[in-house]
Amino acid sequence: MSTANAPTRWRSVLPHLDQPLPPDRTPHPQGATGIQVSLPLELVRQSVQPKEYWDIPAEVADAYRVFRPTPLWRARAFERAVDARVPIYVKYEGGNISGSHKLNTALAQAYYYARAGVRELVTGTGAGQWGTALAAACALFGMKCTVFMVGTSLHHKPHRGTLMRTLGAQVHASPSNLTDIARQSTTGVNSLSLAIGEAVEYAARTDGAAFCIGSGETYSILHQSVIGLEAADQLTALDARIDTVVGCVGAGSNFGGIALPFFAAATAAGTRPPHLVAAESATTPKLTRGTYAYDRTDATGTGPMEAMYTIGSSYPIPDAHAAGLRFHGAAKVLSAMRHRDQITATAVGQVQALQAGRLFTRGEMVLPAPESGHALAAAARLAGAGTDTAHGPLRAQRGVLVCVSGHGYLDLSAYQQLMDGELTDDSPDPQALRAAVRGLNRIQQPTRPAPATAPPPRHTLATPHEATATAGSRP
């Protein structure tokens, strides 16, 4: 097992992209109004400026040192269990209070919002890892926290709610009776998009509160770069060689955190980056079966439309043990890179994911979250007989690095259902997928070069320390 020093800077991939990201679009006609999402200015800067390194604030770095650096090891028992031809290295992010990588950005965001004078952070969460991370960060920085958690997930994992409440958060099952968007919902569907929409609406009408989200936004992926930066140092210390990096994808912060620092390092050195493989849920196959188009990021439809690979925000995602992977779209950074063949993707069903998680548990004595099981299943394919991806057969030749983004101790019911033979995998209906993206503004060609300067942010949030501006919402 290898450790390293915790990074003192985050590393951005933006300076290393060959083209700029497509600009966000407002969903409202000229003069129309809607709920607005405000961000501290530093988070806006981190989203748009092509600056490579960003200093981690001292208060955030101190909080990181409680659980970072996180361990990396060669998973030899798992290699034997899956008949791997090449080494498999695991970067484990489940050893903090939230049980996942989500705490890396939750601490950073709570710090910036607190400096901006915000007294309460409001969010939506699927499996509860992000809600738990934000509750912990708010407790550390003396802020209130309100969480809307997907109702079916909260029902299956009530102890997630207990942990968030122990940390001082208010937790509401979504759909709730607290928001207009939930009351007006005609489907009654339990979805992350709706939970986020409830959080956006609730924050907009609550004095001193701000909506906060932690997965697909460019600044949250930047904060997660500590994962890949540490992993690169740890692999060097082990004299290990890899040519493939795997992470699971909901909106994209875990995969972006483990993979994009390797892309940035390779492009900066003028060398070929490793294969970057995003493992997504087969129930929510945005990168493998979705459309690259402008789509909304939450059920309110009031935030900016973002360019993303999507299966449509209206698509009724089937219930499955994929937890945080059950979001309809991928981060705009990852979507742009997918469109340019800089990353690839593979879809994994819940049965295969949990089977991989069980093999990993029995060999490595670490219980992975179901989301991480998707990454482990993909890593096993890549290190073993190979896999068919959207880009054809892909096979690791030297070694695989995989991020186990969180622990599964609050997901034991999923493993019990697996062992009881109660789980199946149903492929999404192609007609339903087509219907959900019908009418979206598709992106057919790579984007044009960026203007000399980025357009100014559209809105402001008063702060005693610095000016702030707004950006879109995302899980």
Which residues are bridge partners to 211 per DSSP? 122
More confident residue, 389 or 263: 263
Instruction: Note the pLDDT of residue 393.
Output: 54
312 band by pLDDT with thresholds 50, 70 and 90: very high
Copy the structure tokens of residue 185.
Answer: 């919902």
Strand order in the sheet with 441-442: 306-310, 291-295, 441-442
d(CA 21, CA 454): 11
Specify the CATH number of the domain 65-99+219-442.
Answer: 3.40.50.1100
CA nearest 327: which of 268, 248, 421, 229?
Answer: 248
* Residues constituting the chain: 475
Instruction: Note the pLDDT of residue 457.
Output: 32
- pLDDT tens for 222-260 read 999 999 999 999 999 999 999 999 999 999 999 999 999
Strand order in the sheet with 275-281: 72-74, 88-92, 400-404, 244-248, 275-281, 344-348
Domain ranges within the chain, ordered by starting residue: 65-99+219-442, 103-214
456 band by pLDDT with thresholds 50, 70 and 90: very low
Looking at this protein, which amino acid is placed at residue 144?
Answer: K
- pLDDT tens for 210-221 read 999 888 899 999
Q: Are 410 and 99 in contact (CB under 8 A)?
A: yes
CA nearest 440: which of 323, 319, 337, 286?
Answer: 286
User: Dihedrals φ, ψ of 160, to 5°?
Assistant: -60, -45
**Is residue 345 over pLDDT 90?**
yes
d(CA 287, CA 278): 8
Q: Please give the average per-residue pLDDT across 179-193, as a whole number.
A: 76
Q: What mean pLDDT, rounded, does the chain reach?
A: 88
| Cis peptide bond N-terminal to 69, omega within 30 | yes
Instruction: Note the pLDDT of residue 302.
Output: 65
Instruction: Note the pLDDT of residue 463.
Output: 31
Q: Are 257 and 220 in contact (CB under 8 A)?
A: no
Burial class (CB in 10 A: 0-12, 13-18, 19+), 30: exposed
Spatial neighbors of 472 by CB under 8 A, at least 6 apart, are 24, 37, 217, 297, 303, 304, 306
Distances 39 to 7, 324, 402, 472 between C-alpha atoms, Å:
24, 23, 32, 9
More confident residue, 391 or 283: 283
| Cis peptide bond N-terminal to 57, omega within 30 | no
CA nearest 412: which of 361, 348, 352?
Answer: 361
In 411-458, alpha helices (H): 412-419, 430-437
**Is residue 83 over pLDDT 50?**
yes
Query: What is the CATH class of 103-214?
Result: alpha beta
Q: Please give the average per-residue pLDDT across 413-433, as a whole number.
A: 91
474 band by pLDDT with thresholds 50, 70 and 90: very low
- pLDDT tens for 119-160 read 999 999 988 999 999 999 999 999 999 999 989 888 888 999
**Is residue 31 over pLDDT 80?**
no
Tell me if 65-99+219-442 shares its fold with 103-214. Answer: yes
- pLDDT tens for 383-421 read 995 444 444 457 899 999 999 999 999 889 999 999 999
428 band by pLDDT with thresholds 50, 70 and 90: confident
